[in-house]
Chain A
């Protein structure tokens, strides 16, 4: 009996230890015979290439997104990928599409592979290294190109503006040195020039049609992937000057003789109606703070709207025990020791630099994430300067 056990175990151990990994001869990167799959496909923003380089080797592996038991019914084998991903609602977050053609940023698949905050479950691929950035970039480019099924198709959706910095209707404390525009599809830089780009200042009023506007100098550059347009404003004297208050309007032409186009010559869908054409218009303003360096103004127009939100500094269990609802603010902050930075007072009367709240709002304190947590960096410096002034004046109630 003992001999039998020894024999069996020895056989098991020897058997497994004798199993070497394959030498890969005659196989492609994914371990499939070259005769079966042909030559490897270079990485590019097409479905065929992404299937070969991304989905098959990273997702459609045994036990994962392959076969009849693919999680969430989501097989990503060749032939299934398009139908299961493009314009299909996510099971984990039904309000989102796994792939939203033309909008990589809001496609749930992109959020999953990037491990974005707010996803349900694990980053993908689960328990494996993060996908190479080149794979993710090509995936996003394919999606932004409309996620066409055929590698020869160009996609039917016209390009749109996915994101802008500053955001529309933003209030800034000074004119920024640059404006950033993210498009849904790779753009043709030759169509982004003086005739299609126009940045106006309103001339002191909020109107852009009364004849007192003036054009600003803009220097456009396009990122290598063709998606991000940066407008350099540094040649304008008003950049960074908080004393010059005005409204600004950026127009990217999608209507008229000269229009912005993507690399497939599709005209910009500036008004976002799903049809090529229409101007994209972004307005923002530069304005000094409306706050006064007195407590009543700061409490009503600074702390309460920015901090006393549900789940933040309000209610019976406010974050850090600091209730910033109307009537509670002063006693919660002035000369009170910070919980997360115990060497500091939340507001140190007479010393804004050494006040934890000021540092937290400016994002300069390691112990506390930048505040407001849901709008980090979103408070204009002009408003912060008023808060600083009140603190330096002694934080008088």
Chain B
């Protein structure tokens, strides 16, 4: 019976819900992020299908038993751990090498009413304990409409794991910046629409009457997808931020391509209004079962009215998942910024990461 259950899960995972954490996996499998995550917009705790995918489909050697973190029908747990060895070749200053526990998170999914109501908590355990998400999530019976209230990551563009990617760091919408508010969504086979209304203070106390509106629309086909996002954060009298992006994915030539371009307008800064531009192009190639090669090109113009201030990055990452729930990532990121910069825009990074999850 147990073997049959696992086999059934495998079938479901391979043919129905093969998505896992990163957008390229959703693209590769032709699924939405919500297929494998509790959160409709992706990231955080995996659903049962996501757990199955991570243990039986993603790794080179599939697991023997399924562990889906389910304690009982009403309670399930999950977690992520990313431990790094980083070597930074600094342009200004001494080179550094350091072991770092980049992130350890625990997820709690409480489902008082199956398929209808979920209470969800994403708690960061290290570095330093803090809450990332905490919300109530309600679905309608057809699972075509949902509503969230609480603290949540905002729907905007590609939900990349890498918060330091220009499109995520420049926009400020990433895993470090959950916000308090409400979110609603519509899901159909080919479309997803997300809309959120939040404080616009990235989880901090609200200090003005303005609010942040986030909209995200995405269209899905089996081997491509495209979408657009809009974000307006209305601060105090003079300050505000408006962002717009287009993003998409395409399976082509055996490569899973992802791209996003973001236009950001900051108003009321000390030097007046600033227009920024950030872009990402990512290519993922499945080398063999359990092995992915990722090449990423990034571009960032922190002020389009200022010449010669642009930054670029090129990254190559090999992701190897030898066993169930265990992934090794080895990556090199070459960064180029203005020569006189004293921050990290010219620092190159070599890293080895152990990623474990359940």
Contact = CB atoms under 8 A, between A and B. Distances in A.
A67 interface: yes
B270 interface: yes
B161 interface: no
Given A27-B338, A31-B302, A73-B207, A68 B268 contact: yes
B52 to A, nearest CB: 32
B204 A62 contact: no
Contacts of B343: 57-58, 128-129
A156 interface: no
Contact of A71 (B163, B202, B235, B259): B202
Contact of A20 (B169, B276, B310): B310
B202 A70 contact: yes
A123 B297 CA distance: 27
Interface in A71-89: 71-75, 77-79
Most buried by A among B170, B171, B274, B309: B309
B93 A129 contact: yes
B306 A27 contact: yes
Contacts of A24: 308-309, 338-341
Interface residues of A, number: 53
- Point out which of A31, A120, A127 has the most chain B C-beta atoms below 10 A from its C-beta: A31
B309 A27 contact: yes
Q: Which of B171, B172, B177, B257 has the most CB of A within 10 A?
A: B172
B243 to A, nearest CB: 9
Contacts of B210: 68
A69 B259 contact: no
Given A12-B259, A69-B172, A129-B96, A22 B337 contact: yes
Nearest to B235: A68
Contacts of B240: 67-68
B77 interface: no
Contacts of B96: 129
B287 interface: no
B72 interface: no
A31 B338 contact: yes
A21 B268 contact: no
Contact of B299 (A19, A30, A33, A126): A19
Given A9-B257, A16-B298, 16 more contacts: A5-B250, A5-B252, A13-B281, A22-B309, A22-B310, A22-B338, A27-B306, A27-B308, A57-B341, A57-B343, A67-B235, A72-B204, A79-B270, A123-B127, A129-B344, A129-B347
Interface of B: 88, 90, 93, 96, 124, 127-130, 163-164, 168-174, 176-177, 200-208, 210, 212, 233-236, 239-241, 250, 252, 257, 259, 264, 266, 268-271, 274, 276, 279, 281, 297-299, 302-303, 306-312, 336-344, 347
What are the 3 tightest A-B residue pairs by CB atom distance, in nearest-first order?
Answer: A68-B235, A72-B204, A24-B338
14 contacts: A17-B297, A20-B312, A21-B312, A25-B308, A29-B342, A36-B271, A62-B264, A62-B266, A67-B240, A67-B241, A68-B236, A69-B172, A120-B128, A127-B169
Interface of A: 5, 9, 12-13, 16-17, 19-33, 36, 57-58, 61-64, 66-75, 77-79, 91-92, 119-123, 126-129, 132
